[in-house]
Structure 1
Amino acid sequence: MTASKIVNFRDIGGIPVAGGTLRPGIFLRSGQLVDLTPEDVDFLVNKHHLKEVFDFRSKKEIEQQPDTTMPGVKCQNIDILASATNSSASIEDMLLHADNITEGMLNTYEQLVLSESAQKGYHDFLTEALNLNEPLLFHCFAGKDRTGFGAALILKLAGASDDQIYADYLKTNEMRKASNEEIINSLQGKISAEQIKALQVALNVDKSYLERAFATINQHYGSFANYLTEALDLDENFQTKFKQTFVIPK
């Protein structure tokens, strides 16, 4: 059987949250959906009944490595970091910030909160997810930063605990292990030792990155509730509607 090309895939539903359980089979996350096998397509379309893909990558990333088209599945590009400065979300950006990759990653998480494109992007994603109310998949290149913060927003909206949010976020390090090794091996001898070392850091997630995003929310908006209304421009009743739609009551 051909090895799956879907990396860092999981359903973030099915967990207990305040008031009930986050519906399984709705919120799927992964890395980019490039060169999928027929088995991969069958897995997403027929097993998971996928209806829409939200691609958080840049236009350039998509042109270089387009997602596989799947029958009956709509695909929407939301370039989360289009207006961000000094982000480290793509391979190219990671290499550009190899001299101080940790600071580059922390800055990226600030941009995920503060940049205009991220605010509009997550507004559009969350609004359309609520309206769709069907199985969707969201991803970026590695499915770890733009996607990781998106997953954290969904879980927090649903009433998940901080421990649950960080547990899902950190699963990426185990689920990307083989893929990261392939990337590093493919670049050996093509880039500097310093860049290899930086990539080994950047291709993983660290709890401090997501902590920086939540600290930035509190610093600039005072609370998650204020962030939803002031930064994401969501209706003040959005979280209530979200829970009513996606949380199965106890």
Structure 2
Amino acid sequence: MSEPQVGEELVRLASADNFRDVAADGHPTTDGGRVRRGVLFRSNELQLTDADAHALRDLGITAVYDLRGDHEVAAHPDVPVPGATWRHLPVGGIPMERVAALETGEDSLAAMLDVYRGFVEHPAARSAFGELLTAMATTDGPQLFHCTAGKDRTGWAAAVVLGLAGVADDVVLADYLLTNTFSTATRAKYLGQIAEHLGPEKVAVYEAVMVADEAYLRTAWDAVAAAYGDLRTYVVDGLGVAPDDVDALVRRLRD
């Protein structure tokens, strides 16, 4: 299969609305380069139709990394992608009990900020992200990583990858926030379920959990700066990714 070229139509999946190429249409880098398309893909959970599963096969996907917890996988197992191996890399340290017990919008905001801080500070989260980056650096062919909404765990992983590749923070942030555009229908579905099962008054409480927010990503960036100084040091020292593997991943991503 020929490599996608900048300007080609981006692949969209009917059954996974937050599926997209990490490179988008070829994100620019600060030194005048571009991120290569067709290398890494991101998504929400893979509850795929047959047509969409085969569309991923046609992209040449060789590996799928599932960042969800055990209960999420058990409730909604991925539809297999033909030709791809599936690997479970659950991101730990997310306070699911706290999220389930939210009472106010302020509680939701505080919980989400803690989730993103935990991506940097919690050992179980760092272990999973480290395994993910190492696997992507050492596995041949196009690869896909995802969580449930493709928003937080997936969003942070994509932000780290793009940052390593030399994409400016404002471009990374804009890419991160695209979840709010792509996942409008899914977000409305989940908020409808909350209204039905928990009551209409809970919709406002959980809205902060359902969106990508600039404050969330900046919280993780600030945690990186405070603990490690820069993104590469976070990846090498915090996530345990070998420097050679970081370099290999960057080479794969750069045109």
What's the TM-score, normalizing by structure 1? 0.89
Could you list the per-position Cα deviations for residues 121-179 of structure 1 after superposition, in whole angstroms to 9, with x for gaps in the alignment? 11111111011141111110100000000000110010000011001100000111111
Contact 1:18 / 1:159 at 8 angstroms: preserved in 2?
yes
1:96 to 83, 101, 110: 101
1:136 to 128, 133, 143: 143
2:174 to 167, 171, 184: 167
Q: Which amino acid aligns with 2:129?
A: Y
2:164 to 157, 160, 176: 157
Partner of 1:186: helix, strand, or coil?
helix
1:16 to 28, 36, 39: 28
**CA drift at 1:237:** 4.3
Partner of 1:193: helix, strand, or coil?
coil
Counterpart Cα distance in 2 of 1:226 and 1:215: 14
User: After TM superposition, what 4+ stretches of structure 1 lie above 4 angstroms from structure 2?
Assistant: none
Partner of 2:84: 73
Partner of 2:242: helix, strand, or coil?
coil
1:53 to 44, 58, 64: 64
Counterpart Cα distance in 1 of 2:188 and 2:98: 19
Partner of 1:115: 122
**CA drift at 1:85:** 5.3
Could you list the per-position Cα deviations for residues 174-203 of structure 1 after superposition, in whole angstroms to 9, with x for gaps in the alignment? 111111111222332310334221222211
CA RMSD in angstroms comes to: 1.8
Counterpart Cα distance in 1 of 2:113 and 2:205: 14
Partner of 2:56: 44
Counterpart Cα distance in 1 of 2:135 and 2:181: 30
Partner of 1:21: helix, strand, or coil?
coil
Structure 1 residues 198 and 133, CA, compared in 2 at 3 Å: closer, same or farther? farther
1:146 to 153, 157, 161: 153
Could you list the per-position Cα deviations for residues 198-223 of structure 1 after superposition, in whole angstroms to 9, with x for gaps in the alignment? 22221111000000001011111222
Gaps of 5+ in 2: 1-12
2:40 to 14, 27, 52: 27
Partner of 2:42: helix, strand, or coil?
strand
Contact 2:137 / 2:245 at 8 angstroms: preserved in 1?
no
Gaps of 5+ in 1: none
Pairs within 5 Å for 1:225-236: 225-236=232-243
**CA drift at 1:246:** 2.1
Counterpart Cα distance in 1 of 2:201 and 2:95: 19
**CA drift at 1:238:** 4.1
Contact 2:19 / 2:42 at 8 angstroms: preserved in 1?
yes
Counterpart Cα distance in 1 of 2:253 and 2:94: 34
Counterpart Cα distance in 2 of 1:148 and 1:93: 21
Q: Among all aligned residue pairs of Structure 1 and Structure 2, give the percentage whose two residues are the same amino acid.
A: 29
Partner of 2:148: helix, strand, or coil?
coil
Structure 1 residues 225 and 186, CA, compared in 2 at 3 Å: closer, same or farther? closer
Partner of 2:191: helix, strand, or coil?
helix
Pairing 1:240–2:247 present: yes
